[in-house]
Amino acid sequence: MTSPLPPSSHASVLDLAPVVPVVVVADAADAVPLARALVAGGLPAIEVTLRTPAALDAIRAIAAEVPDAVVGAGTVLTPEQVAESVAAGARFLVSPGWTDALLDAMKTSGVPFLPGVSTTSEVVALLERGVREMKFFPAQAAGGTAYLKSLAGPLPQARFCPTGGIGPDTAPDYLALPNVGCVGGSWMLPADAVAARDWQRVEQLAREASALRR
């Protein structure tokens, strides 16, 4: 059975799990077992970043073979990448920042999206465009929990997925904020475990991450 994410731009990626794994796939052959380990650990929303030549093939494989995963594309930078990602089976889109052209493409893609912001003006500009759910990036470098807490007062309608420099020790502080739906991170995918294809360890780390609820 496919994980719950209605095929609508109004669906929320922020409510699927407390943590969205941010995945860099070097070898598309690793995509399916990696995704299965994350899902088994309780993290169904998986952001595959478009940072490697294998990324679109990885999204395609996960979409086809891991029905309980909600696979998305991250590091989306251009309208062309929006189209390619959706065609490959991405069910949500994440960008580190946004332009008018990129935002227009994401809004017409037919899937949920999280455009990246790091300043108050960017948040206000997105709210003006009818976008209320965003990625806060780079979270730690851009002000962390103190910054997001300051935004909650004047801009309570904005909800965030902070990503960037967040680990298991700091994630609970973010998740305790009223304007944070989930966090993004890669700590459950240590490089040595992925290189060794130790999917059992990935599953255990994912299970621990999935328990980081408010």
Report the C-alpha gap between 78 and 83 in whole angstroms: 9
Determine whether 80 is an active site residue.
Answer: no
Compute φ and ψ for 7, nearest 5 degrees.
-75, 65
Question: Which residue matches tokens 């599953």?
Answer: 203
Question: Which residue matches tokens 């948040």?
Answer: 123
Which one of 65, 135, 203, 208 is the catalytic residue? Answer: 135
Residue 18 DSSP label: S
Which one of 47, 107, 133, 208 is the catalytic residue? Answer: 47
* CB contact burial 137-154 (16+ within 10 A = b; e otherwise): bbbbebbbbebbbebeee
CB 84 within 8 Å of CB 77: no
Strands 93-94, 113-114: pairing is: parallel
Determine whether 47 is an active site residue.
Answer: yes
**Which active-site residues does the annotation give?**
47, 135
